[in-house]
Amino acid sequence: FKWTNYLKGYQRRWFVLSHGLLSYYRTQAEMAHTCRGTINLSMVHIDTEDSCNIVLSNGGRTYHLKASSEVERQRWVTALELAKTRAIRIRSNQSDDSGDEEEEAECASPSDKSEGHGTLKYLSGKLDDLSAFNDLIAKHGAALQRSLSELENLKLPAESGEKIKAVNERATLFRITSNAMINACRDFLDLAEAHSRKWQRALQHECEQRIRLEETIEQLAKQHNNLERACRGAPSLSANPAADASRGGSVQSGKTDPSDEDEETEYFDAMEDVH
């Protein structure tokens, strides 16, 4: 439910939480054409008034929401805080991500770029989720511990005091275990972020190596084509001198050598007149 005004009070609305934005509609059927408002969670302060109410403050505007039960309210508060953490991280890393995309666009083909960038983006999103849940566990665990401590300090009957003390001890054990898990998650986050940067550098290096290899193969292919054309052109060049030589021989054969001409010429001796 959303608070509208003093006359109508809380009215049922359909809320959609997506990409760091909380949009609301009168009904689910209005999602296709009419949005009544959108709240940017990256700049919102989330607070709770009682067991069912949620207050969202965004600059000069305040939104009062009401859940049907305390369990539903807690579910919405957790989802809103997680979405807020994601939105803040995306906004703070937007410039760095755009630079990485430009570098990947220069060194990768479209298919490799989409596959590699999609994998890294998916892993980065999961790391952001883990970090957000880590912060939420620490926040809610500290709040639970404070509430139990305040409850233990109240003046209650002896029997109730013993039960509260036992609950507090169990909560303390849970807090110790949660802190250990939080520290392990934080170590995993640091390690995963470091390896993520290494993967990005390795991917960029592989893309650069692939580009150089493709350029080398292209140059070798051009050289191979040039050699093939040169080899095909070599026989035609050597045939021309042979033709010229044959033509020259035929011309020379048409000329008669003086000695041959003398041999074929018949000479007759002059006959003496007999008187």
Quickly tell me which residue has 């041959």 as its tokens: 260
Q: Give the predicted TM-score (pTM) of the model.
A: 0.47
Tens digits of residue pLDDT in 204-223 = 888 888 899 999 999 999 99
DSSP 154: S
| pLDDT score of 237 | 47
Dist CA 158 CA 203 (whole Å): 65
- Which domains, ranges and CATH numbers included, belong to the chain? 2-92 (2.30.29.30), 114-225 (no CATH)
Is the pLDDT score of 272 beyond 70?
Answer: no
| pLDDT score of 111 | 53
Q: Which two tokens stand for residue 257?
A: 């050598």
Is the pLDDT score of 274 beyond 70?
Answer: no
Dist CA 44 CA 60 (whole Å): 11
Tens digits of residue pLDDT in 99-116 = 555 554 455 455 555 565
Q: Which two tokens stand for residue 108?
A: 């990768």
Write down the mean pLDDT value for the chain: 74
148 versus 117: the higher-pLDDT residue is 148
- Of the CA atoms within 13 Å of residue 56, those in its CB half-sphere come to 23
| pLDDT score of 101 | 52
% of the chain with per-residue pLDDT over 90: 4
DSSP 274: P
| pLDDT score of 243 | 47
5 versus 25: the higher-pLDDT residue is 25
Dist CA 120 CA 74 (whole Å): 31
Helix or strand or coil: residue 273? coil
Q: Which two tokens stand for residue 190?
A: 């640091």
Element (H, E) at 211: helix 158-254
Tens digits of residue pLDDT in 140-169 = 777 777 877 777 777 777 777 777 777 778
Is the pLDDT score of 66 beyond 80?
Answer: yes
Is the pLDDT score of 92 beyond 80?
Answer: no
